[in-house]
């Protein structure tokens, strides 16, 4: 469904979307990689569980939330790809984990 415009920039950066390797141009966003990977959805909404793909591509709609390199709920359209980046689906609300966060001093 999505394809890069021809002869803009060569796709030289390899990232992994849901474990699948995708080549994207340097400077592209993680959301672009998600669209090129051809997935049906990159997140499910926390309340209704509806599937979502990147939409506004400019940091407004939050529909591109993904788990990027292990960090939940990142706006994929605002994150620039880096070689080896791992972009995974954000399924529902993220999990905060009692007991794992370091305690700050009082």
Partner 1 sequence: MSVTHDVIVVGGGLVGTAIAYGLQKRGLSTVLLDEGDVAHRASRGNFGLVWVQSKGLGAPHYQRWTRGSAEAWPSLATELAERTGLDTALHQPGGIHICLSEEEFEQRAVYMAQLQREAGNLGMEYRMLNHAETAEMLPGIGRAVVGSSWTPYDGHASPLYLLRALHTAFRDAGGTYRPNAGVSEGTAAPRDFSVQAGGETHRAPRIVLAAGLGNAALAPRFGLEAPVRPQRGQVLVTERTRQLLPMPTTSIRQTDEGSVMIGDSKEEAGYDSLTQTPELMRGMAQRAVLTFPWIAELNIVRAWSALRVMAPDGLPIYDESGRFPGAFTANCHSGVTLAGAHADILAPMIAAGELPPEMAPFSARRFHDVRSAA
Which residues are at the interface with partner 1 (CB under 8 A)? 46-47, 73, 92-104, 106
Least distance in Å: CB of 93 to partner 1? 4
| Sign of the alpha-carbon torsion through 54, 55, 57, 60 | negative
Q: Dump the DSSP string for 34-74.
A: HHHHT-S-SEE-TTT--EE---SSSSSS-TTEEEETTEEEE
Q: Which is nearer to partner 1, 1 or 105 (CB)?
A: 105
Least distance in Å: CB of 72 to partner 1? 8
Q: Which is nearer to partner 1, 37 or 74 (CB)?
A: 74
Least distance in Å: CB of 103 to partner 1? 5
DSSP state of 92: S
Q: Which is nearer to partner 1, 3 or 47 (CB)?
A: 47
SS3 label, residue 96: coil
């Amino acid at each position: 469904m999505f394809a890069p415009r021809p002869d803009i920039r060569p796709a030289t950066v390899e990232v992994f979307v849901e474990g699948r390797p995708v080549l994207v141009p340097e400077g592209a966003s993680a959301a672009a990689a998600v669209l090129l990977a051809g997935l049906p959805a990159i997140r499910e909404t926390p309340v209704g569980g509806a599937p979502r793909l990147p939409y506004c591509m400019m940091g407004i709609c939050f529909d591109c939330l993904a788990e990027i390199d292990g960090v939940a709920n990142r706006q994929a359209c605002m994150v620039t790809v880096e070689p080896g980046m791992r972009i995974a689906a954000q399924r529902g609300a993220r999990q905060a984990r009692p007991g794992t966060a370091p305690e700050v001093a009082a």
